[in-house]
Structure 1
Amino acid sequence: MQRIFKKYTMIIMTFAIFSILAVNCYFSAQSVEQQQFTTFCTKIDQVIHTIKNNQEELAAIKTNLDEDYLTRARAAAYVVEKNPDILGSVEELNNLAKLLDVDELHVTEEDGIIRYSSVPKYIGLDFHYGEQMRGFLPILEGDDEDAYIIQEAQPNTAEKKMMKYVGVARKGVKGLVQVGLEPVRQMEAQERNTYEYIFSRFPTDIGEGFFAVDMEAGKITAYSGMNEDVNVSTDKLRAHPEKFQNGGYIQLKDGRDYYIVTKSYQDVIIGAFITRTNLYETFWKNMLHTLLYLAIVEMIVVLTLNYLVKQKVVNGIHEIRDELLEITKGDFDTTVNVGGNPEFEALSHGINSMVKSIVSSSARISNIIDISEIPLAAFEYQNGMNHVFTTTKLKDMLGISSEEFERLSYDPGAFMQKIKEIMEEPEEEESDVYCVAPDQYVRLHFAVELSGYYGAVTDASREVMDKRRMRYENNHDQLTGLARYVYFKELAAEILKNMKVDEVCACVMIDLDEFKSINDTYGHDVGDRYLQEFAKCMNELPKDHCVIARRSGDEFCIWAFGYRAEKEIQEQLKAFWEKLNKRTVRLTERESCQISASGGYVCTSDRNAEVEQLLYEADQILYCVKREDKGSFGSRPFR
């Protein structure tokens, strides 16, 4: 009988396990593709939304810049009309260009030849030559004194340098006044509006990528997540664009199958893809884990039932009572083994089934959480139990050693105290997130009832680290790594507010000398290297006394604090300028130059002072130094 029972039990359970596994495999496979399709649709919609936003931003920037540039050109024409003597001096024209914040200023007469310019090498150029310059001839050929032309950004005729020019007719004299600017903001906005730029910054999982296909040209314009020699078949996409709108598979040059979802937008097919291997990787792992779990369950059930069948009722009512007492104390691992007659066997089986049902409900939840790979753990304690029920991941998520966790599990009071200690110091701006180990954070929900307590724990490490990374990137300049200007002012205001009575602080404004000349002569890459080298010098300032930031372009700020007297601040700045004068930057393989900067600072001990006012005063001092003693720093009397 025992062998027959064991044989048929294994046959039935094996058949049931494989039936459940087959059904689960079928529906899970369908769910995998559907979930991936939904994910890709969401991500592609986000890409399209980003493109739309960037296009609106680019249009707004262009409109604003056009109006601003036209105003500057008309201002230049007005100055030339009222003060024609300025045309005789390149230096005066340069000063006017700087005042108007333009890069170039040119003035012609009726013949269309540049007679006066802030760029001497452009004098003599004829507007009748070169496609870009000929664009302004309608002003010279017409009689409208209010005529103007705003060109799109394009390479200029003289140097093929990307510029944006605006020309207006001269007042009272036949001729043209033209201003030129480097359209940095517009070019940056155009760069951000490319699919390649968006794809490079869009988050993807392993094996995922994006591509964009120009339907008219029939070629890929941008892609991510693929090697250069592996491309989506544009012929299949163009021939059947609707085929992949609901998801489909395609084989690429590397011989692998890819699951692809596409959407059309403005004659461009935007697609997302993932290899079939990566798509089903987690699926097959889960199936394997489920199979192993069910096999173990089968073996445990078969062995347990076989053991119960072998037992006889020998211990009687007292043995049943003792076993039940252990169960009521919370020891659910206890098995009632009473044999000797059919009545005791039936009673034992009934008791064991009841206990098993109680245990399995909690065990199933724990096992499902474990095999699903979700970073989730839970615990529960009911009054009268001799241990705390926990899921397997709780120990690792709370950063508790195996020995301590074992001890706490059998001491419900100590376990509760441990949870309360963890919850004493929540993370800033996160009321339910706590640090349990370096770079390890959890979100903990804990509830106490009359019958006991319970709680749930989820892993919040990635969320916390991502927020910190985003906060850092939002508050620091990408090129130099220094604090951004807005963040600098927040830190400065906080320091000023908390400054001690016997302390002084200083606001320092710094401007690099001749930086525009370096940029124009050697290019922006050299200019960026020049800025980075200067930032390294600033980073050598003591962190416990200085907050440093990049204000914009070649302007920087220092907030010096924690000093007892202005003399200490002067000595610190003097040492900084001495180090700075010894630093050189390589411009070319043969050329180097010394870093030169001018600065101005204002010192105060008034905690009620306004940061904006101090910045303004330091800026005014800076401009005085730039005019009178470039390459050094100056100050105003202490206040």
Structure 2
Amino acid sequence: MQKIFTKYLIGMIIVSMIILLVLSYFLSGKIFRIYQENEFRMKLNHIAETIKENEKERNNINALMENRYLTSVRMLDFLLENDPVQLYSPDKAAKMAKLLAVDEINITDGRGIIRYSSRKENIGFSFKSGSQAAAFMVLLDKNNKKSSIIQDIMPNTYNHKLMKYIAVPRSDKKGIVQVGIIASRFYNAERKNTYKYIFGHMLIDNNENFFAIDNTNGSIIGNTDMIYRGKNISEWGYSRGNLLKYQNGGFAYINGIEKFIMTKKYNNLILGAEISENIFQYRQFIVTGFIFLFLIMISFIVILSIRYLVKKKIIDGIHNIVSDLDGIKDGHWLDKNLILENPELNELSKKIYSIINYILSANECFIRMLNLTEIPLAAFRCQNNDIIVTSKFFYILGINEIEKRKIISDEKAFVALLISLQKKHVENDVYKSNSSYIKLIMRKTKEGVYGIIIDVTKDMLEKRKIYYENRHDALTGLNTYQYFHDCVENILYSSKNKFIALIMMDIDKFKTINDTKGHDAGDLYIQHVADFMRDMPRRHAVLCRRSGDEFCICLYDYVSKTEIRQQIKKLWYTIGNTPFQVADEICYLSVSGGIAWFNAADNFTQAMANADKALYHAKNTVRGSYQEYVPVDE
């Protein structure tokens, strides 16, 4: 029971685990999507806030640097007004530029031609030579000495180098004081405010990719995955409008790969995040795997716990009940005071005790009543070397006490007894046992053999007596005419290409014998004829007394008529030449007979009629003889 219970428990746990694993797989997919949505949303908001803060910081940095370099220009103008000797040579101007932390110093006259410079090649260059430098010429026309021009980073006119220039009007005379700062100084200061810096320093999970797209042209201006930089979203097969549909997250194909994507619009940017759909499945499998291992561990603990409880509370109790029940076979009575841990099993034990007590009492009562009857009946059961028989079993079979002890203790010997009975089959369920007839009704099951035996000797003898009397003449013991008829019909059916003769015979002057010597003497005559007939070969002869002093013989299975004629001749000789005594008188028999031959056209009735005609002809010709029937056309 414990194994069966465990088997079904494991089956239920396996089914439950499969259901839980399937649910966990799909639920974990939902949970990971919700988690990824929140994660992307938080990080995209963080990127937007970072860009916003960095824009403020960059503006502040630019303003600070411009103010700083504007101050440097005004200091240079002050120096030029008070100690111009420090700037007369390029070397001195270069030292001053280094001191002021600028990259280039240019000082023009009233016509915009550079007279002093930290770069020797710039001396003599006119601001009017290019649009970039010409933008500062307006300072020559301004009377306000505090005016200034701060130019954005662009290629200069001299050598097309990216520079940022700041200039003010000269205080000592008409002219321009200008300083130049190479663009990298500003770029280095703004480096952490670029998209490259922002995306490059983000804390992101593996396989996540964040990007920023210019909403005006669809170009990717920043991302954490270098392979997308400088590309356009049209290469993904999407437009800017399509991307904005994923602001709440969704799955899309990018470069032929299904990914989960989320976007956010910020000013003139489309911020986005993506992760491969395979990562979702990988995470689902990982979580499902951990859940599977956890369920295996829990299931193992549950199975062991339940097995222990089932064994302790149920199995052990059942074993105690079964052990108590097994004691019945050994003659021990049930322990009605058996105490078990399980109250239900205690109740069951009491009920079983009550039922078995009732069954045993009823069985004992039934056996006693059965033994009181005169019915020669006994029952038996043989199961697992446990043999139970009622008291009349061995008496009916005529087995003595010594054999009884051997058989009752040995299952093989008991089964051999039953088999030996079955070998002596008589009819239906009736078998011969010594001089008795036994009716054996037996059934075999997986558990063993059980059945009943009944002594039917009296019935069988009576039946056989009736059977014999129905087929045999009471005075002679010969077959009756009806049974003779049936036997001859069977012979005609089965004997092919063999010679068959039908003989009718009666005792000559039988009426005179009865009238003169009495009927008892007539009966003796009839019995002596029957005795002579019984000397015929029984394998080839069927005999009967038809009625009164008439007899019939069928001789069959002979290969020639000559053999049959020899047998008939021998019979008539024996009958006519064998004396017998009736009272004090020695008598001889005289019988007349008619013989008919069977052929393919004959039947029993026609053959009897032919034999009767031959008998009549013999009686009218020579009594004590026999004649063969001869058809008229012969």
TM-score under structure 2 length normalisation: 0.47
TM-score under structure 1 length normalisation: 0.46
